[in-house]
Amino acid sequence: EGWQERGAAATVRRETDASGQSQTRIVKKGVKDFNFGRTLGEGSYSTVLAATDRQTLKEYAIKVLDKRHIIKEKKVKYVNIERDTLNRLTEHPGIVRLYYTFQDERSLYFVLDLASGGELLGVLKKMGSFDVECTRFYGAQILDSVAYMHSRGVIHRDLKPENVLLDRDMHVKITDFGTAKILPDPRTSGAGSQEAPGDPTDGAGTDRAVSFVGTAEYVSPELLRDKNACKASDLWAFGCIIYQLLAGRPPFKAANEYLTFQKILALAYTFPDGFPDVARDLVERLLVLEPSNRLPVEHIQNHQFFDGVQWGKGLWQQKAPRLK
């Protein structure tokens, strides 16, 4: 099984040659163009390293994937989904950007935005829980990013505080698109949230065989019931995240996955004492069993909980609130 260098990113550089003529050259980056530094983290099939572009001195995170391991474990499809979705989502500050991909005999390399602030989960664990101001800020940045990916025809399907990374300004960078679902491009097909019947990356065929995609605590009831995720499934997960930021724990949590699923299907969760009323109202409108009855993105943005939030560009120019 091989990897084609489909859509590999490259930089276009203008250079002046010996005769003084201006030339445009496509420069392809490779392993040799980076100085590799500390290990940022390890995944099941990958190691993520800090790296610096030798020429520009810009810092990146480079995800190094072991080809043999990926083929042996039949994860080629997921690696390709990750690359394809990231290549679709390059115009938003809230999504980890993929700059270049290249490979050598042993490994695939994804050159990504460096998220030096680590995972939102780590920050949350250190703080215990967030106050309303922090929850509003991080919630708004997550929602703005989700709105963008949905507008570009991508359903994340595994949103959770571990997959929300933070950059040096403590701004959100969503990652982990390996289990995402790519819908036909709404700009070319006009199909909205419709799934292409023959789409090899859709959830219907192959995903039915596996138990589920996602993480037990954030998985939506429709995925458990019908093995089908839609845009609203990400908004279920978003509701779980808002709850978790304020309460310090996810709404549905049990001793094992099976019991967690039972709780989700029964909508069996309660709010801790002191949970703010306005946030409670928002969560109750998101943690709704029927996906079509969940608050859509535009209505979430207009919910009282997000009063005063500047949606769009302004949200990303804002200084992150001090954690408390």
158 belongs to the binding site for ligand ATP (CB under 6 A)? no
- 70 is an interface residue for ligand ATP by CB under 6 A: no
Q: How many residues does the chain have?
A: 324
Q: Are 112 and 62 in contact (CB under 8 A)?
A: yes
Query: Using CB under 6 A, which of 49, 51, 108, 112 touches ligand ATP?
Result: 112
Told to check if 216 binds ligand ATP by CB under 6 A, we report: no
Q: Which part of the chain contacts ligand ATP (CB under 6 A), choosing from 9-17, 43-51, 182-190, 283-291?
A: 43-51
158 catalytic per annotation: yes
Q: Which CB, 176 or 195, lies closer to ligand ATP?
A: 176
Minimum CB distance to ligand ATP smaller for 119 or for 207 = 119
> CB under 8 Å, gap of 24 or more: what pairs does 37-42 form?
40/114
Interface with ligand ATP: number of residues (CB under 6 A): 19
Angle, CA of 308, 323 and 288, to the nearest 5°: 60
27 forms bridges with which residues in the sheet?
11
**Per rule CB under 6 A, is residue 41 in the interface with ligand ATP?**
yes
CB of 305 to ligand ATP, least distance (A): 28
Between β-strands 154-155 and 59-66, what pairing exists: parallel, antiparallel or unpaired? Answer: unpaired
Tell me which long-range contacts 304-308 makes (C-beta under 8 A, separation of at least 24).
Answer: 304/278, 305/136, 305/139, 305/242, 305/278, 305/279, 305/281, 306/136, 306/139, 306/140, 306/143
Question: Smallest gap, in angstroms, from Cβ of residue 177 to ligand ATP?
Answer: 10
Question: CB-wise, 201 or 215, nearer to ligand ATP?
Answer: 215
Interface ranges with ligand ATP (CB under 6 A): 40-46, 48, 61, 63, 96, 112-115, 119, 165, 175-176
Please identify every residue annotated as catalytic.
158
